[in-house]
Amino acid sequence: MTFQRATRLNGIELSEIVQISEAARRLRAEGRDILALSTGEPDLPTPPHVVAAAHEAALAGKTKYPPTAGVPKLRAEIAQQAGVTLDQVVVSTGAKQVIANAMLATLNPGDEVIMPAPYWTSYSDIVRLAGGTPVVLPCPMEQGFKLTPEQLAAAITPRTRWLMLNTPSNPSGAIYSRDEIAALAQVLAHHPQVWVLADEIYAHLSYVPFTSVAEAAPQLTDRMLIVNGVAKAWSMTGWRIGWGIGPADLIKAMITVQGQLTSGACSISQWASLAAITGDPALLDQRRAIFAARRALVVDALNAIPGVTCAAPDGAFYAFPSIAGLLTENGGRLDSDAAFCAWLLNEAGVALVPGRAFGLAGHVRLSFAYAEDTITAALARLTSALERTPA
């Protein structure tokens, strides 16, 4: 009997980001010197006091099944910081699982989820896995990679269940201003069936003022899910803790899903996360300053390359330059962002992610969550490879 994949997996493959990272790993194993700027994972260590809290929790025997919705102390701290009640918070195995739980808990076949592109690559696949239909709205660089109220109004149908808003955005770094959020909320006022998923996992990594969707659109509170987590700001990608804040009935449905999928997030990681979010906020300022310096380095270097245009990202740790100019200058040989990334990996040993993985072709994503030396070396290789081998 040959292996048979479920039809629910049709069109869903390993994410392009993972594929590129694996290609880079393969080349490394062959002895090639590869510099990867392809992953959204800070090089900085998890803060020592967070690691210590995990040790303590493990030694104190906090190693049993936690309550499905999360360790009460962590849940209570998140609720208190957000100004909501305990039943409005669920802790999950990463922000990714929060999003997956929400989609599994709410979507029926054919329900539509609006996602402004570029979007984090997993959004569309999670929606498909949950039986929904992604509705991708291109938001090019000229509009700051942001959704306009007109676009939103035109895309809403009776089947629309969610609008995904990611601010600051992976991959563009765009942050929606208070007024921009209010204008989108104005459109949603006419469509009470549409909920908002605000993925704010990069909120602490903002280089311009950040306003939470919860704060800018309080009239949507009863149909809003705020997603956040410790992965990015505290360099805790491997600990796998994220959380959702929303109306109690939605949270309850998400906890039901979680109960059957994982029984709840890792107990030790939850105690570590409590130490992170109650720790000295000065740590976040220090880390933001480190990323801000790298951001300046990357944006300047990219804009110095003929054919590349890079807007300074407002937040997160990605640059998302347009390489459209390069593709035309190359006379069509490198006719796409994907071809460019494949060429760059082979020619210069530098791994970037093509924009098409995020629903917006003609761009590439460069993560600057890497040590400055690595970033500088990769940019130098990129520049010299382009000088060496145009057309």
Residues that bind ligand PMP (CB under 6 A): 40, 94-96, 120, 166, 170, 199, 201, 229, 231, 237, 242
The residue type of 196 is: V
Residues whose CB is less than 8 angstroms from the CB of residue 230 and which lie 6 or more positions away in sequence, other chains included: 236, 239, 241, 242, 273, 276, 277
Tokens 């990996």: give the residue. 345
Query: Rounded to 5 degrees, what are φ and ψ at 351?
Result: -100, 120
Residue number, 38 or 88, with CB nearest to ligand PMP: 38
Shortest Å, Cβ 169 to ligand PMP: 7
CA angle 11-167-359, nearest 5°?
30
Residue number, 134 or 242, with CB nearest to ligand PMP: 242
Residue number, 120 or 326, with CB nearest to ligand PMP: 120
Shortest Å, Cβ 340 to ligand PMP: 22
Residue number, 195 or 202, with CB nearest to ligand PMP: 202
Query: What does 337-375 look like in DSSP terms, one character per residue?
Result: HHHHHHHHHHHH-EE-EEGGGGT-TTBEEEE--S-HHHH
CA angle 31-36-37, nearest 5°?
170
Shortest Å, Cβ 148 to ligand PMP: 21
Residue number, 242 or 321, with CB nearest to ligand PMP: 242
Residue number, 326 or 369, with CB nearest to ligand PMP: 369
Residue number, 226 or 327, with CB nearest to ligand PMP: 226
Residue number, 237 or 256, with CB nearest to ligand PMP: 237
Whether 315 and 175 have beta carbons less than 8 Å apart is answered as: yes
CA angle 52-38-238, nearest 5°?
20
Shortest Å, Cβ 232 to ligand PMP: 7
Shortest Å, Cβ 53 to ligand PMP: 18
Whether 116 and 139 have beta carbons less than 8 Å apart is answered as: yes
Shortest Å, Cβ 218 to ligand PMP: 23
Shortest Å, Cβ 227 to ligand PMP: 7
Residue number, 156 or 231, with CB nearest to ligand PMP: 231
Which helix (H) or strand (E) segment holds residue 298: the answer is: helix 282-303
Query: What does 214-243 look like in DSSP terms, one character per residue?
Result: HHH-GGGGGGEEEEEESTTTTT-GGG--EE
Region class of 349: left (phi > 0), else alpha (psi between -120 and 50), else beta: left
CA 2 vs. chain centroid, Å, equals 36
Distance CA 355, CA 337 (A): 6
Kindly report the number of other CB atoms within 10 A of residue 384's CB atom: 12
Residue number, 201 or 334, with CB nearest to ligand PMP: 201
Residue nearest ligand PMP by beta-carbon distance: 94
Structure letter (DSSP) for residue 389: -
Task: End-to-end CA distance of the chain: give it in Å, rounded.
Answer: 49
Shortest Å, Cβ 231 to ligand PMP: 4
Shortest Å, Cβ 380 to ligand PMP: 27
Shortest Å, Cβ 17 to ligand PMP: 8
